[in-house]
Amino acid sequence: MVLRGKKKQKFWLKTALCALGVVSILGGVAGGAQAARMPLVVAAENTWGDIAAQIAAPDMRVVAILSSPTVDPHEYQATPTDARMIAAAELVVANGAGYDAWADKLVAASGLLPVRYVKADSWSGWQEGGNPHLWFNMDAVSAFVQHFAEACAQIDPDHADGYAGRAQKMQLIIKSIQAHAALLREHVAGMHVAATEPLFTPLADLLGLQMDEQAYQLAIMNDVEPAPSTVATFESDLKDKRLKMLVYNQQVEEPSVRQLLELAQQSNVPTMPLSEMLPPRKHWQVWVHDILARTGQLLGVQQ
């Protein structure tokens, strides 16, 4: 599997989401005959589906295949229903980077033109073997927004201005996340943290955090038993409180992960759960701002 002293500042940036036109649209914007006539966008995951929907609606209908927090996207097995949805789509969006290779297979079988398949790994900074959790990488998200809006305009040129305008608003939202992270970075840069998988790493990099225990993370993500020496180092760093925070993927239930969480609790090292799916009734940007705010709290930043 592909590798999956300063005065207080208010860190939750008021991004005026309502003023930017953000509405709850994932899964469709219209019902009945009207929805049936709208171009269909199918997203492999609800993370990218939500971003796509904020650009495509109200002129396209967006549905996501994966949205359950109990499903491991790395190991998902596509169904005939998934294949039919993709075959009926005008556009398909996915993470790429080997994260959702099942979507690649369904798109290839459907005969969908490459220009109608928008993947986040089309970002110029992506390299084979890199971190596949691209929805937490602001540069990757920004590139995806641009590419997706262009694809929408190609399919539906009558609404090209609408797609471009909503994409521009999304770019402003991305900048607000980067600004939020920059403020936090002034207080947390250089702190040593760890995770059970490299899910949090793009945000840790944005914050200037030192991400430790990377060998362990890669082993767990690739469903490989971590080496005893790797586990021993992780446990020692928790016991000695060299780590300021432990982030864990709540969608993965590994015995060694549970042991680390118990040890973190015993050592009074703060822990933070993350999922690979967008939580219900949340937009991507609200989710990311919440993660940044929670990270600041756990690392002792006054907000």
List pLDDT tens digits, range 19-60: 233 333 464 444 555 556 799 999 999 999 999 999 999 999
Domain presence at residue 10: no
Same domain, 57 and 174: yes
Domain presence at residue 56: yes
Q: Which residue in this structure is represented by tokens 């940044």?
A: 292
18: pLDDT strictly greater than 50: no
Domain presence at residue 106: yes
R_g over Cα of the chain: 20
Could you tell me what percent of the chain has a pLDDT over 70? 88
Phi, psi of 269 (to 5 degrees): -95, 120
Write the CA distances from 102 to 34, 69, 96, 174, 196, integer angstroms. Answer: 30, 18, 10, 28, 24
Distance, CA of 65 to CA of 61 (rounded, Å): 13
List pLDDT tens digits, range 121-162: 999 999 988 999 999 999 999 999 999 999 999 999 999 999
Same domain, 148 and 39: yes
Number of domains in the chain: 2
Same domain, 166 and 225: no
Q: In what order do the strands lie in the sheet with 91-94?
A: 61-66, 40-45, 91-94, 117-119
Determine which helix (DSSP H) or strand (DSSP E) holds 246, and give its type and residue range.
strand 246-249
Domain limits for position 49: 32-180
Amino acid 26: pLDDT: 61
Cα-to-chain-centroid distance, residue 176: 16
Residue 217's closest CA among 207, 208, 226?
Answer: 226
Question: How many Cα atoms are found within 13 Å in the side-chain-facing hemisphere of 255?
Answer: 3
Amino acid 282: pLDDT: 95
**Prediction pTM value:** 0.89
List pLDDT tens digits, range 184-214: 999 999 999 999 999 999 999 999 999 999 9
Domain presence at residue 23: no
